[in-house]
């Protein structure tokens, strides 16, 4: 492991110790993101909010990342979609952020759970709040435009 990666890991782990959060072993930040996200399943959707009692999509992703890793993401879907490292969906790992657009405009973000599912905050008729959806979902599937990673490759 190179010196920069070591320093980043020390800083992240120090944050966990300082804040009293659970410390996860090397490579488990992705697991921490997923476990944190799942804790909020069923929480209500409300546009413009960032939790923990209500979320919009970017507020949810941002809140989960902050709580699970200490990483501060930008506030909006558009700015999250322009941040981090762009990766191919075929290389995406759990905890990466999936970016969606309608008519060429980024308008939604979600956290990748596994090869076929995401967790996100939505407001679509009966599907409201923090839910798990398939990447094959008729609405969301065709709107995927990319994936962003905010973690080092081996975390």
What pTM was computed for the model?
0.81
The mean predicted confidence, pLDDT, of the chain is 85
Tokens, residue 137: 């979902």
Comparing 40-44, 127-131, 135-139, 151-155, the range with the smallest average pLDDT is 151-155
- pLDDT number for residue 19: 38
Taking 50 as the threshold, does the pLDDT of residue 85 lie above it? yes
Q: How far apart are CA 95 and CA 155, in angstroms?
A: 10
- pLDDT number for residue 124: 80
Taking 80 as the threshold, does the pLDDT of residue 152 lie above it? no
Catalytic residue among 108, 111, 121, 130: 108
Q: Which of 37, 60, 35, 36 is nearest to 47 (CA)?
A: 60
Catalytic residue among 32, 36, 58, 120: 120
- pLDDT number for residue 60: 98
Known catalytic residue at 120: yes
Sequence-ordered list of residues with C-beta below 8 angstroms from that of 115, at least 6 positions apart, any chain: 135
CA 153 and chain centroid, separation: 15
Q: Identify the sign of the CA torsion 92, 95, 96, 99.
A: positive
What is the third-level CATH fold of 3-149?
endopeptidase fold (from Nostoc punctiforme) (3.90.1720)
Tokens, residue 150: 């905010």
Share of the chain above pLDDT 90, in %: 75
- pLDDT number for residue 61: 98
pLDDT tens sequence across 14-73: 334 333 444 444 368 999 999 999 999 999 999 999 999 999 999 999 999 999 999 999
Known catalytic residue at 98: no
- pLDDT number for residue 6: 37
What are the DSSP calls for 127-138, one per residue?
A: EEEEEEEETT-T
Catalytic residue among 57, 92, 110, 130: 57
User: Between these two residues, 47 and 126, which has the higher pLDDT value?
Assistant: 47
Known catalytic residue at 61: no
Taking 70 as the threshold, does the pLDDT of residue 90 lie above it? yes
- pLDDT number for residue 154: 58
């Amino acid at each position: 492991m190179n010196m920069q990666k070591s320093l980043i890991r020390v800083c992240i782990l120090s944050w966990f110790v300082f804040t009293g959060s659970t410390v996860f072993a090397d490579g488990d930040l992705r697991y921490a993101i997923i476990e944190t996200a799942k804790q909020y399943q069923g929480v209500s959707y409300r546009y413009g909010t960032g939790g923990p009692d209500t979320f919009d999509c970017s507020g949810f992703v941002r809140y989960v990342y902050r709580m699970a890793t200490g990483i501060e993401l930008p506030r909006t879907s558009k700015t999250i979609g322009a941040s981090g490292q762009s990766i191919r969906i075929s290389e995406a790992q759990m905890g990466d952020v999936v970016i969606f657009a309608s008519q060429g405009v980024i308008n939604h973000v979600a956290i990748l759970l596994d090869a076929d599912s995401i967790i996100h905050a939505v407001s679509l008729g009966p599907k409201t709040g923090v839910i798990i959806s398939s990447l094959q979902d008729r609405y969301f599937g065709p709107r995927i435009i990319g994936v962003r990673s905010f973690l080092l490759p081996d975390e």
